[in-house]
């Protein structure tokens, strides 16, 4: 799969970089903040290779890619050029205040999810080990130093949560990450913890402080870093340039540490307690009702991105009490999506859908439900309804049984041990609830059915290519071996086999009828997909990306279809040399692995459209 090609197509179809004010990604989707969402072409995006679905939600334009998202994101980053996220975001679609809060919460917590999941998994493994050691070997594992060390590793993230969130919040609010971390570390500093948990009153500048334990807290540091961003901008504006490197961070700490302990910390604690009070008020009113609601509606919230608003409840619960039931109920929703997708796999006759459903079932069982939601269940509608019903039934049973987890861990088969410490009844109810959610959705999908997709597999045209391809030259110059190019990446063949050319004329043309799959903003690199399926990368110069497009001129756009001989990019060879860069061009076949070999033409001077290399099938 050509991730650069996919990234280029997606970027073009959301309106190019001119229409993007910000871009992030989570486990399964690219999240764009667009200046004008009407410029995005949803229909064409849905036809793009690798794209599972497109969702407009929470002020974001979301392109769902499943587990390929990180590779596509990495491929897209260089294409974003000099896009100033901070400045351009002001021009983007803002949405409501609630939408912006949801987006901010997601941006702060998303980078921490892998660490949270790892901590949860480790805690679950330790919980199972303790149960086995106690019940079968009558050994108190918690007294062993190995357990103490590993348990510390599983708890450290939550204990030092203010430091972790200080960093991610600073990235979001665009302020100094390390000053934010120092504020978080102050809240966790042993002497501060001792003061705040002791019997005596605590004061700062003769102002009595609200006593609270800030270790494992979530909201206080986020509020504090938010205001830090404004304080830092104010200081940057008025402190002379020569003093900024010392005085801005110094005054930031002198202002924000007292402000956090006197004002923002207590406010954050009270907000967290209020949110938890609402959640547990419903829980105490009817745990069955709460379990059914979360188990049924969770994956619907995922579609709209609204689940992000309540995720901090579970994180805060684990940090403060060492347990949470939110993700127990959400686990029922995940297992129901897996069951519905498995039902689709069993019943559909569409070969492509069967493949998608099989893969989606596995990923949903491991806690990633988007492929199941967008690739099968929501796409077919009825399986989504069956999943909601089954998830609600499973969640209701978990609520009745008092199921809870001892860590904040992604909901799937690997994290089942996290719920084992809750007691026999609670754990059995969690297992039964998960089973009801999975098998209930699967049985309903198979028995009650859905409108199947037509199987177009046999209708697809089969293209039989020629045995060998001759590739012609897109530039004029002296042909050299690729391993003689002064660029280790290309010379090593890591990008694919090909040739090098020392150019004599500063112009690149289409060597065949082709599509421009990639055109970097700096114009130094062009990706072409030739008519015969050959994927070619033309890289102009060594390290010329640093010129940011200076001395280059483009004649085409990414995604454009070219006829053999069309001009693509012009470049000034002499100016590039004067700037201290080597103009040697690397031309590689990026899908080399699809062919038996790629062989260069004899080393000599070549002109545009002369024979350059041969591709052997």
Torsion 354-360-364-366 (CA) sign: positive
Contact 586, 502 (CB under 8 A): no
Residue 349's contacts (CB-CB under 8 Å, 6 or more residues apart) are 452, 455
What is the DSSP-derived secondary structure letter of residue 517? E
Token pair, residue 402, equals: 């008092």
Q: Output the 3-class SS for 317-339.
A: HHHHHCCECHHHHHHHHHHHHHH
Residue 37's contacts (CB-CB under 8 Å, 6 or more residues apart) are 56, 61, 93
**Among candidates 451, 387, 397, which has minimal Cα distance to 419?**
397
25 classed as catalytic: no
**Among candidates 340, 365, 435, which has minimal Cα distance to 394?**
435
Contact 391, 298 (CB under 8 A): yes
- Distance CA(604)–CA(482), nearest Å, equals 14
**Among candidates 183, 367, 321, 325, which has minimal Cα distance to 265?**
183
Longest alpha-carbon distance in the chain: 86
- Distance CA(382)–CA(449), nearest Å, equals 8
**Among candidates 538, 485, 474, 535, which has minimal Cα distance to 507?**
474
Residue 297's contacts (CB-CB under 8 Å, 6 or more residues apart) are 333, 388, 392
What is the DSSP-derived secondary structure letter of residue 42? H
Catalytic pick from 25, 307, 524, 539?
Answer: 539
Contact 33, 22 (CB under 8 A): yes
Contact 125, 414 (CB under 8 A): no
- Distance CA(281)–CA(330), nearest Å, equals 18
539 classed as catalytic: yes
- Helical H segments across 138-217, by residue range: 145-159, 161-173, 177-188, 190-197
Torsion 472-474-475-479 (CA) sign: negative
Residue 554's contacts (CB-CB under 8 Å, 6 or more residues apart) are 519, 523, 568, 569, 570
Token pair, residue 131, equals: 């149960």
- Distance CA(527)–CA(532), nearest Å, equals 15
Q: How many CA atoms lie within 13 A of 585 on its CB side?
A: 29
Catalytic pick from 25, 26, 188, 442?
Answer: 26
Would you please indicate which residues are annotated as catalytic (active-site) residues? Answer: 26, 539
């Amino acid at each position: 799969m050509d991730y650069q090609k996919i990234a280029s197509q997606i970027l073009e179809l959301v309106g190019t970089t001119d229409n993007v004010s910000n871009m992030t990604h989570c486990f399964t989707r690219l999240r764009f903040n667009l200046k004008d969402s009407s410029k995005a072409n949803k229909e064409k995006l849905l036809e793009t290779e690798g794209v599972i679905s497109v969702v407009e939600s929470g002020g974001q334009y979301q392109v769902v890619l499943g587990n390929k998202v990180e590779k596509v994101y990495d491929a897209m980053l260089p294409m974003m050029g000099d896009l100033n996220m901070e400045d351009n975001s002001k021009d983007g679609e803002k949405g409501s205040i609630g939408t912006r809060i949801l987006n901010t919460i997601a941006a702060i917590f998303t980078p921490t999810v892998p660490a949270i999941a790892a901590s949860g998994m480790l805690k679950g493994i330790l919980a199972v080990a303790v149960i086995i050691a106690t019940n079968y070997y009558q050994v108190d594992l918690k007294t062993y130093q190995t357990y103490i060390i590993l348990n510390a590793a599983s708890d450290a993230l939550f204990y030092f949560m203010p430091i972790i969130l200080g960093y991610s919040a600073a990235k979001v609010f665009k302020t100094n990450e390390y000053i934010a971390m120092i504020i978080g570390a102050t809240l966790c500093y042993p002497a501060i913890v001792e003061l705040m948990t002791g019997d005596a009153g605590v004061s700062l500048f003769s102002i009595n402080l609200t006593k609270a334990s800030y270790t494992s807290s979530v909201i206080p540091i986020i509020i504090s870093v938010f205001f830090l961003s404004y304080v830092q901008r104010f200081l940057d504006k008025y402190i002379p340039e020569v003093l900024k490197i010392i005085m801005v961070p110094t005054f930031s700490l002198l202002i924000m540490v007292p402000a956090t302990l006197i004002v923002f910390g207590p406010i954050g604690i009270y907000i967290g307690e209020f949110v938890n009070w609402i959640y547990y008020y419903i829980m105490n009113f009817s745990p069955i009702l709460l379990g059914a609601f979360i188990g049924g509606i969770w994956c619907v919230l995922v579609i709209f991105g609204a689940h992000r608003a309540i995720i901090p409840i579970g994180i805060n619960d684990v940090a403060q009490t060492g347990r949470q039931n939110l993700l127990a109920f959400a686990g029922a929703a995940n297992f129901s999506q897996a069951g519905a997708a498995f039902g689709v796999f069993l019943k559909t006759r569409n070969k492509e859908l069967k493949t998608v459903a099989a893969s989606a079932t596995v990923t949903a069982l491991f806690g990633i439900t988007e492929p199941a939601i967008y690739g099968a269940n929501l796409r077919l509608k009825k399986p989504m309804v069956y999943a909601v019903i089954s998830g609600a039934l499973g969640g209701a049973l978990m609520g009745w049984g008092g199921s809870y987890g001892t860590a904040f861990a992604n909901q799937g088969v690997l994290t089942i041990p996290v719920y084992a410490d809750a007691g026999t009844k609670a754990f059995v109810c969690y297992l039964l609830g998960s089973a009801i959610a999975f098998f209930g959705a699967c049985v309903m999908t198979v028995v009650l059915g859905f409108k199947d997709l037509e199987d177009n597999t046999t209708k697809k045209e089969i293209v039989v290519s020629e045995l060998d391809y001759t590739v012609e030259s897109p530039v004029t110059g002296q042909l050299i071996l690729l391993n003689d190019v002064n660029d280790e990446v290309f010379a090593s063949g890591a990008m694919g086999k090909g040739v090098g050319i020392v150019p004599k004329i500063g112009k690149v043309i289409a060597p065949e009828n082709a599509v421009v799959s990639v055109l970097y903003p700096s114009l130094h690199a062009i990706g072409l997909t030739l008519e015969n399926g050959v994927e070619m990368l033309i890289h102009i110069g060594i390290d010329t990306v640093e010129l940011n497009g200076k001395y280059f001129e483009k004649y085409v756009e990414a995604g454009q279809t070219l006829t053999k001989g069309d001009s693509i990019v012009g470049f000034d060879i002499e100016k590039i040399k004067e700037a201290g860069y080597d103009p040697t061009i690397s031309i590689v076949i990026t899908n080399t692995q699809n062919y038996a070999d790629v062989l260069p033409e004899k080393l000599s001077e070549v002109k545009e459209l002369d024979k350059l290399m041969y591709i052997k099938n």
